[in-house]
Amino acid sequence: MIKRLLVTGAGGGLGRYVRERLKGPAEILRLSDVADLSPAGPGEEVMRCDLADRTAVDELVRDCDMILHLGAISVEANFDALLQANFLGTYNLYEAARKAGVRRILFASSNHVIGFHPVEERLDDTAARRPDSLYGVSKCFGEDLARLYFDKFGLETACLRIGSCFDEPKDRRMLSTWLSPGDFISLITKLIAAPAIGHLVLYGVSANRDAWWSNAHADFLGWQPQDTSEPYRETIERREEEPAAGSDYQGGRFATMGILGER
């Protein structure tokens, strides 16, 4: 057990799962978001923070042992918005963590860093990054920043390329990319407990029949996803008779949309 785990983006979907379900790995969850959160419960601290505010981030990180970094714009957006939340915010967090002596960050990267790979390919951690969006580019930046801070300062990071984490898969694509909330929490628990992880890239995906990604290189964690999208297949395939736009690409529709704000 660690003393204090900082969770950024605690007001989002993934943050909600963490707050509701992550029990045991940390004595205290320090929950943060740019938006207001409900009052702290037992074993919780609540701190509102804009990650683009460097001074505020320094204070946010103080006295934390590890960080679960979920705070970001999590969909495609215009570059100026991503610049503040995903680029500057991630840099501020890593620099604050370095100064505070934090030893490990669990970084919510995204499958959209490899979204232009065709669905016929099976990828592992060595696959070339092919971002499908500016959002995907922002997560590539985070992965590279994490690599720098490990090589230069020894700050460990798990770059978790999350697929589609919802209560249940919503469409055909998610039959391959779905990560159940239970599997997400069990993976986070393993990453907190691991003695050492270095700079680790792995995919957040459940044991789906047609998954595109392999985590064989991370077997040392002892994580085995327990859920699968198969119980939802018949309903989804009956509802969606035709493939959706972008279905040839692992990033789906992200690979076919334009750049937001382009002239």
For residue range 221-247, list pLDDT tens digits in order: 999 999 999 999 999 999 998 878 889
Full-model pTM: 0.96
Helix, strand, or coil (residue 82): helix
For residue range 37-71, list pLDDT tens digits in order: 999 999 999 999 999 999 999 999 999 999 999 99
For residue range 176-187, list pLDDT tens digits in order: 999 999 999 999
Domains, the chain, ranges and CATH? 2-255 (3.40.50.720)
- The residue among 177, 167, 169, 173 whose CA lies nearest residue 242 is 173
Report the pLDDT value the prediction gives residue 257, as an integer from 0 to 100.
92
Annotated catalytic residue, options 135, 149, 203, 249: 135
Which helix (H) or strand (E) element contains residue 108?
Answer: strand 104-110
Report the pLDDT value the prediction gives residue 29, as an integer from 0 to 100.
98
- The residue among 77, 69, 161 whose CA lies nearest residue 123 is 161
The answer on pLDDT for 263 being more than 70 is no
Burial class (CB in 10 A: 0-12, 13-18, 19+), 80: exposed
- Catalytic annotation present for 232: no
Strand pairing category for 2-8 and 44-48: unpaired
Report the pLDDT value the prediction gives residue 260, as an integer from 0 to 100.
83
The answer on pLDDT for 262 being more than 90 is no
For residue range 94-150, list pLDDT tens digits in order: 999 999 999 999 999 999 999 999 999 999 999 999 999 999 999 999 999 999 999
